[in-house]
Amino acid sequence: MPENMQVVVSKKRKAVAIWLLAGVVMIIIQVLLGGLTRLTESGLSITEWKPVTGALPPLNEAAWNAEFDKYKQIGQFQYLHSDFTLSDFKFIYFWEWFHRLWARLLGVVFAVGFIYFLVKQYFDKQMQVPFVILFLLGGLQGLIGWIMVASGLNDTSLYVNHIKLSLHFVAALVLLVYTLWFALRLLVPEGARIRSSRLQTITIIFITVLGIQLFYGAFMAGLKAAPYAPTWPDMNGSFAPDTLSSESWVNNPFNVQFIHRLLAYMLTAIAIWWFGVARKAAAATGGSLLSRSFSYPFALVLLQVMLGVFTVLLAPKMGTSRFGSYELLAELHQLVAMFLLIALVVNLYAVQGKESMGAAARTA
């Protein structure tokens, strides 16, 4: 390929990658908005799924009262928020509406960008299948979101099902990771990657344990498990809860919190192991992507553990205000978890260097 043609192809791929990275940022914001809807108990305020007409909030008092009447039919209002005024309802409605609006905006940004780059012929054959997968993941995420909300729209439930909540959360992270990986394939030159099967294996172990931890983090959120044992390093005076051998490890709040803690300690140990191996590999490959990114996972794990501890200690403040110190720490805890996942994905890409992926990643 002539040099001037290579420059044109490189610029096109860089433009597509920047668009994808903008999508990554929007997905991060979307996940944080999802956290806000949970923390403010707003997720069940909109009782219908209207992908098009639902983009507009109620526009007059009669419409607001009609929406409020629908909310009054479900168990969350009847058993938890029966003292709500219309003003209270408008507050929780806003966060769920904004969460859904941002999802629509995310879809528009992807659709408009896709059409623009398609018309401008920025795409090559290697991008076709990844784009199909990307749009399927986006549609699946919306479907899982509604299934999750529907699980709480009855006259007995106070909240959405915590397992479906975790699926919704993890599906969003899968979409985030896939979009990021796609962007890295277009943005990172092959020469910036290294081959290290040992570090690759450790990184995969690191991400796998983190994935399990993220599931349990969502279980913690869905079950509101933090206040059950708001102490550290013990759990209400004991190392492990009495329920560990007799109750479910998925549905019991004490057990879920205990496993979440254990996984955090395990991640810390893996992070130390990973850092030692990655530092040696980075020192031997100056100028590689790894040499610029290897220090982030270890630092983020330490920060995440610290935030987790303080979030648990502040758990008694949960629900005492619409957005107080507990809610702020919980959001930061979620944000740093996403940063950690992103850092590990970048490092995994830095050390994989397989030829099958390299064909679509060359930018020179």
One domain, residues 173 and 301: no
Distance CA 148, CA 364 (A): 45
Whether 263 has a pLDDT exceeding 70, the answer reads yes
CB-hemisphere CA count at 13 Å for 191? 4
Of the residues 187, 204, 220, the one at which a domain ends: 187
One domain, residues 143 and 44: yes
One domain, residues 210 and 139: no
The total domain count for the chain is 2
One domain, residues 139 and 258: no
- The rounded percent of the chain whose pLDDT value lies above 90 is 87
Residue 6: per-residue pLDDT: 52
If you average pLDDT over every residue of the chain, what do you get?
92
Tens digit of each residue's pLDDT (9 = 90 or more) over 91-132: 999 999 999 999 999 999 999 999 999 999 999 888 989 999
One domain, residues 171 and 205: no
One domain, residues 153 and 272: no
C-beta separation of 31 from 172 below 8 A = yes
Residue 8: per-residue pLDDT: 59
Once rounded to an integer, what is the mean pLDDT over residues 4-10?
57
Beta bridge partners of 238: 235
One domain, residues 251 and 263: yes
One domain, residues 278 and 236: yes
Distance CA 52, CA 140 (A): 17
Residue 322: per-residue pLDDT: 81
Phi, psi dihedrals of residue 98, rounded to the nearest 5°: -65, -40
C-beta separation of 210 from 170 below 8 A = no
Single pTM value for the model: 0.93
Of the residues 164, 187, 210, the one at which a domain ends: 187
Weakest mean pLDDT among 133-137, 245-249, 348-352, 359-363 = 359-363
Residue 7: per-residue pLDDT: 53
pLDDT class for 10, splitting at 50, 70, 90? confident
Of the residues 139, 165, 187, the one at which a domain ends: 187
pLDDT class for 355, splitting at 50, 70, 90? very low
C-beta separation of 235 from 258 below 8 A = yes
Tens digit of each residue's pLDDT (9 = 90 or more) over 50-101: 888 789 999 999 999 999 999 999 999 999 999 999 999 999 999 999 999 9
- The rounded percent of the chain whose pLDDT value lies above 70 is 94
One domain, residues 362 and 303: yes
Domain of residue 153, residue span: 1-187
pLDDT class for 356, splitting at 50, 70, 90? very low
